Amino acid sequence: MKVIVTDEISEKGLELLEKDPRVQLDVRLGLKTSELHGLIGDYDAIITRSGTQVDAELLSHATNLKMVARAGVGIDNVDVVAASERGIIVVNAPFGNTNSAAEHSMAILLSMCRNVPDANASLKSGQWQRAPFTGYELKHKTMGIIGLGKVGGRVALRSRAFEMDVVVYDPYISEKRAADFGTRLVSLDELVSMADVISVHTPLNDETRDLITGEHFSAMKEGVLVVNCARGGIINESAMLTALQSGKVAGAAFDVWSEEPPKSDVLKKMIAHPRMVVTPHLGANTFEAQTNVAIDVSREILNLLDGKPVENAVNIARFDPDLMAQMRPFMELAALLGDFISQLAPENPGKVIFNYTGKLAAHDCMPITVAGLAALLNRCTDQEINMVNASLVAERRGLIVEQSRSTESNFFSNLITMSLETPQGKRTIAGTLFEGTPKIVKMRDFDTDFTPEEHMLVMHYDDRPGLIGKIGTILGEAQVNIGAMNLGRRIKGGEAMVVLSVDSPVGGETLAKLSEAIGARFVKAVYLKR
């Protein structure tokens, strides 16, 4: 595997890749855009931070790329949609620098409260002044945290250690989750009106851009303190400057900016304001964090190389890491079902339905659905389909994907049923795991019981004496050995579904002989990638 590193990354964090003989690691810093476009087609993975724009144009040249690894929390510089369309996994390192970012949030907050930068400069200049640097205590103040994620949660815990009352605005967490951190959920309007200190910890996206505007500043307490160590642009910077100039905001501490490095007049005025403490995006700039994020993305690349689950992919449906070991066999089962039914069903399916019954259904089954969908679509298009782009490809082909779950199951502890709706009718296949081995237990409305093998024959005909013998004779003449046979039928002498495991592929001429000899409704060879 060839890996290119295009931004400054901790050398210690890259040791995992450097020591693996399967990996060719190339560190190429300071490349021009045109140079990178010319090189990227040779690489399987790219490691970046924020300096490299992994946009649609770059990805169009990345003919072999399988992974974009962003050594940091955000993915602002990566076109995730364009990557997903090409089946490229995008990973980040959401946990490697969370502690660093949380500690920096508290550091610049405390520096602002106690006038540390100005007092430091004053004393270094030879002055001894104390009165101008009278500060604020955090004890008994209300901390308002916007976003109770990995960083926000750590800031909440540290704020409580300062004996602050902590309130949280986060529409994506439960009240119980907030209570676990010793906080309580409030609306955004409630938070801005009651907080003495406001600290933002959300990603920057369409929902959060300009989340805090002039209207919110008007509703804040007089003398409020504002902290941003998340992303520039979450707080409207023009409104922030106005609030500082009016005295509404007693102090602000910013580490991040909508433009980095800052060049606009608004940002320059903010930075120069005497009641602002500023740093140049240092939240993740600790030796520990730089090493940790590099280690995290290096491990993800090795997981990809080893065929293991990728834990921090941002464009793959996945289980909680603690569940992955027990759920992975069901993902493989769904992929088998998708591969199998895609070779039997009529063309132009309009809808695929995944039904989960049993203990399995107690969990979010979307990763299993996507695994089955990817296998289904791989037979329908020349494009390489994987768990990254399966849902996008389905949407663009007009294929409706539905899923249902029920923890009640009459016959199997766990059952996955996949149904395709086509212009020619509905086709169904169902499977389960028996002692870890995949079994297909239903095809259409025929009960079956067989283990999928690499080469298989499926035949549908009207049952009558002597047909099994004819099948064996024709296959024997073609030097095709039968490994196993399963016969499903509803009544004696009625329709029958026969599934054969065979040791080698069956040619078209042999299939035609079989069809004619038994008067088959259909005879199809199935090949399963193993």
Residues 6+ apart with CB under 8 A from 113: 135, 136, 137, 138, 225, 251
- The Cα 147–Cα 144 span in angstroms is 10
Query: Do residues 157 and 111 lie in contact, with contact meaning Cβ atoms separated by under 8 Å?
Result: no
- From the candidates 158, 231, 318, 427, which is the catalytic residue? 231
**Cis amide linkage into residue 261, ω under 30° from 0:** yes
Our answer to whether residue 216 is catalytic in this structure is no
Our answer to whether residue 85 is catalytic in this structure is no
Our answer to whether residue 281 is catalytic in this structure is yes
- The Cα 274–Cα 297 span in angstroms is 40
Q: Whose CA is closest to 162, among 182, 178, 179, 177?
A: 182
Core vs surface per residue 451-473: b (16+ CB within 10 A) or e = ebbebbbbbbbebeeebeeebee
Two tokens at 147? 């976003």
- The rounded radius of gyration (Å) of the Cα atoms in the chain is 30
- From the candidates 86, 281, 363, 489, which is the catalytic residue? 281
- The Cα 160–Cα 181 span in angstroms is 9
Neighbours of 269 (CB within 10 A): 15
- From the candidates 35, 57, 260, 477, which is the catalytic residue? 260
Element housing 90 (H / E): strand 89-91
375 phi/psi in degrees, rounded to 5: -65, -40
Residues catalogued as catalytic: 231, 260, 281
